[in-house]
């Protein structure tokens, strides 16, 4: 399997399929590059080169004892990009992966990035504070950590229900989707998943968003039960200079999976524009 070795000797697994303009996909917590299978196949069939990596401590990458923070995540992406010498690339990030995209593009993207997409993404910052009064209380994230530490396997059975909106009245639970979420989560390291909660909830990425100067699509469902859209995509659209905003009525956090037909078409339209 293909790996890139980082400066601190972590092995980052990646997929690299096809030829053409590269699209780099950044997955959410606590998943892996497998979460992008539908999008990777779609864009491969439309003539693009598609790349996705497993974040350190996730999927098939090294289960490191440290480095579970946005700075290191972005540096790991830079290592993959430099190894593959990717230029004129589109970077698409979902949830925590959206934070990773924002930091990567802001710090390392000059001359390499053509466009960016943040999907149901965590920036600018999730946790509630005096400067972010509409954020999510820290008690919520403490609760996630406590449940993960107590019984990660059971916790990862429960999270996919609000993640995909399967807990809404009349919405059919897709067992394969839930099983695949659980499978991906359990491939990763408990310590990485635990530490990543702080990374995705408490990292202030306001400066990252302001520094992005490439055309950027920001998209999210207004029934996102994981990352409230009023404190995410609406603020992203205000902070990113050259942004396009799309809000999807009734769509959940995991809309890339359960509404792939709509989202893929919109991504393709933006990339071609």
CB count within 10 Å of CB 198 equals 14
Q: Which of 35, 54, 76, 224 is catalytic?
A: 224
Residue 156 near residue 130 (C-beta atoms within 8 A): no
Residue 116 near residue 107 (C-beta atoms within 8 A): no
26: β partners: 93
**Does the annotation count 224 as an active-site position?**
yes
Q: Which of 26, 68, 193, 253 is catalytic?
A: 253
Q: Which of 33, 95, 120, 243 is catalytic?
A: 95
The Cα–Cα gap between 77 and 6 comes to 10
* Tokens read off for 100: 């990773």
* Tokens read off for 23: 């699209």
270: β partners: none
Instruction: Phi first, then psi: give them for residue 67, nearest 5 degrees.
Output: 85, 20
Tokens 């037909």 appear where? 261
Residue 248 near residue 262 (C-beta atoms within 8 A): yes
Residue 246 near residue 269 (C-beta atoms within 8 A): no
**Does the annotation count 134 as an active-site position?**
no
Instruction: Phi first, then psi: give them for residue 57, nearest 5 degrees.
Output: 80, 0
| DSSP letter (8 states) at residue 136 | B
* Tokens read off for 68: 């579970």
* Tokens read off for 238: 């205000």
Which helix (DSSP H) or strand (DSSP E) does residue 99 occupy?
helix 96-108
- Which positions are catalytic? 95, 224, 253
């Amino acid at each position: 399997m293909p790996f890139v070795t980082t400066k601190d000797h972590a092995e980052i697994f990646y997929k690299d399929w096809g030829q053409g303009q590269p699209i780099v996909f950044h997955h959410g917590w606590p998943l892996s590059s497998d979460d992008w299978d539908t999008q990777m196949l779609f864009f491969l069939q439309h003539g693009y080169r598609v790349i996705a990596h497993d974040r350190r401590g996730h999927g098939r990458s090294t289960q490191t004892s440290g480095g579970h923070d946005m700075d290191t995540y972005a540096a790991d992406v830079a290592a993959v990009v430099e190894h593959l010498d990717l230029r004129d690339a589109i970077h698409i990030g979902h949830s925590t992966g959206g934070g990773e995209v924002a930091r990567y593009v802001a710090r390392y993207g000059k001359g390499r990035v053509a466009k960016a997409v943040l999907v149901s993404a965590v920036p600018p910052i999730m946790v509630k504070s005096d400067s972010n009064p509409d954020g999510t209380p820290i008690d919520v994230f403490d609760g996630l950590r406590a449940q993960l530490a107590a019984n990660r396997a059971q916790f990862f059975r429960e999270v996919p229900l609000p993640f995909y909106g399967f807990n809404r009245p009349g919405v059919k639970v897709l067992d394969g989707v839930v099983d695949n979420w659980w499978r991906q989560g359990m491939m990763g390291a408990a310590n990485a998943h635990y530490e990543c909660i702080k990374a995705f909830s408490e990292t202030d990425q306001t400066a990252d968003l302001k520094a992005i100067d490439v055309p950027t699509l920001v998209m999210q469902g207004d029934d996102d039960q994981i990352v409230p859209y009023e404190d995410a995509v609406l603020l992203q659209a205000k902070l990113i200079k050259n942004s396009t905003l799309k809000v999807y009525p009734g769509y959940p956090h995991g809309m890339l999976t359960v509404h792939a037909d709509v989202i893929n078409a919109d991504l393709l339209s933006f990339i071609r524009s």
